[in-house]
């Protein structure tokens, strides 16, 4: 019976990890594979992943490759075995930093660059506009700038959290709690 409870707990965690990640725009299968490898006590091969999660070889291979590219898992080679095995990062702090760094690089930085370009485009032509067109341009510039400032603030917070490290995060959280509490 204890083994059945463990399997149920493992299945529940994998499902919820997949649901959570899916709500963030990350593939459910990718996050379920990550959860499976995170819980695994030994590296797993593609066949193990396919069997335990009931996914196709193509899906398993594609998602394993993406997880390697993200830096959340790494390949492990066993001597005299041609199969590739995979192991997950188990340090939660390191996982957080990796996910944050990758999401910033893939999602935040492109929108920051786009916002900067939009502001430049407006500023190139904005001085020649009058009337309602000028009011609209000023409103757009403000909205672009507001989002850009918010992204900058969030980047600063993530940088501070990374610099503080796991031991410095609790005092920062307590200080912020006192400020808003």
The H or E element containing residue 44 is strand 44-45
Q: What mean pLDDT do residues 9-31 have?
A: 89
The residues pairing with 81 across neighbouring beta strands, listed in sequence order, are none
**Predicted pLDDT at 130:** 84
**Residue 59 pLDDT greater than 80, yes or no:** yes
**Residue 176 pLDDT greater than 70, yes or no:** yes
Mean pLDDT of the chain: 90
Phi, psi for 73 (deg, rounded to 5) = -135, 165
Q: Are 61 and 48 in contact (CB under 8 A)?
A: no
Sheet holding 84-88, edge to edge: 44-45, 84-88, 73-77
Q: What mean pLDDT do residues 15-38 have?
A: 90
Its pTM stands at 0.77
How many helices (H) does the chain have, and how many strands (E)? Answer: 7, 3
pLDDT tens across 65-80, in order? Answer: 999 999 999 999 988 9
Q: Which of 19-28, 134-143, 164-173 has the highest mean pLDDT?
A: 134-143
CATH classification of 2-88, choosing from 1.10.10.10, 3.40.50.720, 3.30.429.10, 3.30.2290.10?
Answer: 1.10.10.10
pLDDT tens across 148-166, in order? Answer: 999 999 999 888 888 888 8
**Residue 127 pLDDT greater than 80, yes or no:** no
């Amino acid at each position: 019976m204890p083994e059945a409870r463990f399997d149920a707990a493992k299945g529940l965690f994998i499902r919820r990890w997949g649901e959570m990640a899916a709500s963030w725009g990350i593939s459910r299968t990718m996050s379920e594979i990550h959860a499976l490898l995170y819980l695994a006590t030994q590296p797993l091969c593609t066949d193990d992943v396919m069997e335990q999660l009931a996914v196709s070889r193509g899906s398993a291979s594609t998602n394993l490759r993406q997880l390697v590219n993200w830096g959340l898992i790494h390949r492990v080679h066993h001597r005299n075995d041609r199969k590739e095995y995979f192991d997950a990062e188990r340090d939660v702090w390191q996982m957080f930093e990796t996910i944050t760094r990758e999401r910033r690089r893939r999602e935040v930085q492109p929108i920051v660059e786009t916002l900067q370009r939009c502001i430049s485009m407006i500023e190139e032509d904005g001085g020649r506009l009058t009337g309602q067109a000028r009011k609209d341009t000023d409103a757009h510039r403000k909205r672009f700038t507001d989002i850009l400032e918010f992204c900058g603030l969030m980047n600063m917070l993530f940088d501070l959290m990374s610099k503080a490290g796991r031991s410095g995060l609790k005092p920062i959280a307590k200080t912020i709690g006192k400020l808003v509490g």
